[in-house]
Structures are given as C-alpha cells and as structure tokens.
Amino acid sequence: MKYPALLPAVEVLAQLDQFDAVIDVRSPSEFALDHIPGAINCPVLDDAQRVTVGTMYKQQSAFEARKTGAALVARNIALAIEQHFADMPKDWKPLVYCWRGGNRSGSLSHVLARIGWPAIQLDGGYKAYRRCVSESLEQLPTGLHFRTICGTTGSGKSRLLAYLENAGAQVLDLEQLAAHRGSVLGGLPTEPQPTQKMFESRLWQALRGFSSERVVYVESESKKIGDLRVPETLMACMRASPCIRLQTDTADRVGLLIEDYPHLVTDTTLLVKQLSHLTPLHGHERIDAWQALAESGEVGALVETLLLEHYDPAYLRSIERNYRGYRDARLLELAGIRENDFAAAASALIADEGGDLAGRGDSLLESEH
C-alpha cells in the first residue's frame, strides 16, 4: 500500500483498534464538540488561526489565504512532530482526519508518510465518521440481548451496574456516558454533559465492543437523560427487552441517595434552586414545604418525602407505560446497601446469564407472576 493512503470511513472504523494513534487535526473547539473515541487533538490550525485564514479568504483572495495558511500549517506540523511524534518507531501507524475536505488532514498525513510512517487519511473526515456512527446506532442495538434493570429512584440501579461491570458483565451505563443521573436533581456539578454528538460517539464505542453472545445490562431510562436524547433504536430495544426489578427498602434508598448526591446535601442553595423546578408539577405550597426541609437541614426527611410524593408515582406511571416487560419482571430483592449485598446481587444475575439467554433463567430470580 502506498502511503499516505486515503481510506473510506466504513473500512477505517472497522479496523479502528489497529491504529497506534488517531489524530484529529481540527481546531480545539471542533474537537471539543465531538471526536472519534480515543483521538488526540493536534490542530494544524487553531481557532484563532482558522478565523484569520477564513477572513483573508473572504476579504482578500483564496491565494493570499492559502499562503498565510500554509505557513501556519507548516509551523504547527513541525511543532506536533517535535512534541508528540518524534519518538515513534518506524512502524507506528497513525490515522489522521479533519472536518471533511481533507486539506488539513492531507497536510499532516503527507508529511508523516514522507518521514516513513504508514499514515492513513480518513476519506471524508469527521463528516464521514458521523454518518457511520448514525447508521451504526440504528443497527448495533438490534443484534444485542439487553436486560433492563428497573426500580424506583434510589433503589441502587446504577450501583448494581457498576458491580456487574466489575464482575465481568457487559454493561451499558447510559447515565455515566451522559454525565447525568437522569432526574431533575441529576446533574453532576463538576462535569458538564457532553454534546449530543459526543454522547452518540460514546454510545457507538460502547455498543461496538459488546458480544452478541452475552447479555448487556442497562438501566431503564426515559428518552432524555438531562439534555441528551437516547437514540430511537436503542430506546426501542431497551423497552422491548426482559426486565429485572430491583427492590430496595425505602430507608436504604434514602441512604443511597444521600451518598450519591453529596453536593446537594452540602449546598443548600443549590438544592433549594433545584426543587423550584418542580413547582409546575406540585405547586408553590408543597415546594415551599420541601424547601423548608432543605433549609433546616432535614435532608433525610426531604429525600423520603421526595421519593414517596414525587419520584415513585412518576416512575411507576412511566415504567409500566414504556417498558412492556415490567409487569412480568423478575424480582431481585436487595438485602441491604453494603458492598457484599450488591456483589451478591451481581453474582446471581451473572450466574443466571446462560440460562436466561436460553429462556431458562427463573431459578435464581423468581418471576413475580
């Protein structure tokens, strides 16, 4: 093969794990919105330089813009080689891509190939990658065997997923990928949500790594997690899958939520502000009472009230309407919220996987009906 080689996105993404590095040469702001999972950002033009060259192209001429751009690109490529690539061996195989046209990625991949590295350039760039991701998200979920873990708020669904993953199970943790816990109080104060496109890239990366020979555990979610939308095909597969209903005592649920939302416990102002978003659902009188509990430090009482008066009724209405396997869900009762309780629950599910796929899994998780 002659290098740099220009390969189509479908071919490149099928062998993505075979590259030693994936290099995104777009500007930092483009990279921040979304990029191929695992890519590093080595911009041949940074954000300010792109504006400069673009302005020259519009106000002066394409020729003047190309001259200025070429000098900037050459300096940036030299810097990237010195800082990032100088120690790479001769057989180091990078994949290089830009937005679409190939001018930026072509510049770097040409230099890398002239040095002697077998550089591959992604034909169509990020735009082609996005098309492949969108198409894959319509296909990948249909070939997988999902088991949806249901349970009222605070029952420990996310924590059980973590124990399942640690025990070697296949787990799709949508809330982790979306950086949100899926409720009005679910935003993470130290981590903003990714863009929709980056969320979909994370989903694509996770789904393509799953085996169709094994179960994939996922938590019951609504169509939106914070500001992000779950792709329709994935949502449909989750809602059509068999369900596991996790049951946890109310006192334990309160304890779990206080552990999981420490920022709301310590930041009364934030908690009061978040509660105000529920006013259209519950009216000022009830919200005032809840906010008073927050301001007086009665967090346990507030959490229990929220569970019984807000979260539980809403969850039960939604789950029965949207997850058709919920009525016949297998019941998994959590004995407590200690580490060994979650580990035991995870072990029981994993031990039952083979029989579950074959339709013989009721011995460990008794059916409710």
311 and 186 within one domain: yes
**Chain center to CA of 336:** 29
pLDDT digits (tens, 9 = 90+) for 32-81: 999 999 999 999 999 999 999 999 999 999 999 999 999 999 999 999 99
- Which residue, 66, 100, 134, sits at the end of a domain? 134
Same domain, 274 and 192: yes
User: How far apart are the C-alpha atoms of 235 and 203, rounded to whole Å?
Assistant: 12
Tell me: pLDDT of 6 over 80. yes
Q: What pLDDT score does 354 carry?
A: 66
For the residues 268-295, what does the mean pLDDT come to?
92
Query: How much of the chain is helix, strand and coil, in % rounded to 5?
Result: 55, 10, 30
**Listed residues 84, 102, 134: the one ending a domain:** 134
Q: Do 287 and 167 lie in a common domain?
A: yes
Closest CA to 323 of 231, 186, 232, 222: 222
Known active-site residue 98 = yes
pLDDT for 155 equals 96
Start-end of H helices in 151-195 = 157-166, 174-178
For the chain, how many structural domains are there in total? 2
Give the number of other Cβ atoms within 10 Å of residue 173's Cβ.
17
Question: Based on the domain organization, do 42 and 113 belong to the same domain?
Answer: yes
Rounded distance between C-alpha atoms, residue 278 and residue 258, angstroms = 19
CATH number at residue 335: 3.40.50
d(CA 208, CA 13): 10
Strand partners of residue 22:
95
- What letter would DSSP give residue 325? T
* Whether residue 257 sits in one domain with residue 175: yes
Q: Given a cut of 90, is residue 353 above it in pLDDT?
A: no
Q: What is the pLDDT of residues 175-185, one digit of tens each?
A: 999 999 866 55
Same domain, 275 and 165: yes
User: Would 365 be classed as within a structural domain?
Assistant: no
Least confident of 198-202, 215-219, 363-367: 363-367
Query: Residue 185: what pLDDT?
Result: 59
Distance CA 369, CA 203 (A): 34
Q: Has residue 218 been placed in a domain?
A: yes
Beta-carbon neighbour count of residue 215 at 10 Å?
Answer: 25
Domain check: are 161 and 270 in the same one?
Answer: yes
Question: Could you tell me if 31 and 163 lie in one domain?
Answer: no
- Residue (of 68, 124, 134) closest to 97 by Cα position: 124
CA distance 146 to 217: 6
**Residue 14: inside a domain:** yes
Co-location of 154 and 286 in the same domain = yes
Task: Decide if 362 is inside a domain.
Answer: no
Average pLDDT over residues 20-38: 98
- Looking up residue 50, the CATH number of its domain turns out to be 3.40.250.10
Is residue 270 very low, low, confident or very high in pLDDT (cuts 50, 70, 90)?
confident
Residue 249 banded pLDDT, cuts 50, 70, 90: very high
Whether 234 and 302 share a structural domain: yes
pLDDT for the residue numbered 365: 34
327 and 291 share one domain: yes
Encode pLDDT of 201-213 as tens digits: 999 999 999 999 9
Sheet strands (E) in the chain: 5-7, 21-24, 40-41, 94-97, 120-122, 145-150, 170-172, 215-219, 224-225, 228-229, 243-247, 330-333
Mean pLDDT, residues 147-174 taken together: 96
Q: Is residue 154 part of a domain?
A: yes
pLDDT score, position 366: 37
For residue 139, is it within any domain?
no
The answer to whether residue 364 is domain-embedded is no
Has residue 127 been placed in a domain?
Answer: yes
Flag whether pLDDT at 144 surpasses 70.
yes
Average pLDDT over residues 302-330: 92
Catalytic residue (choose from 98, 150, 237, 243): 98
**pLDDT at residue number 360:** 39
Name the domain boundary from 82, 113, 134: 134
Query: Do residues 47 and 109 both lie within one domain?
Result: yes
* Tally of helices (H runs) and strands (E runs) in the chain: 18, 12
57 is in which domain, residue-wise? 5-134
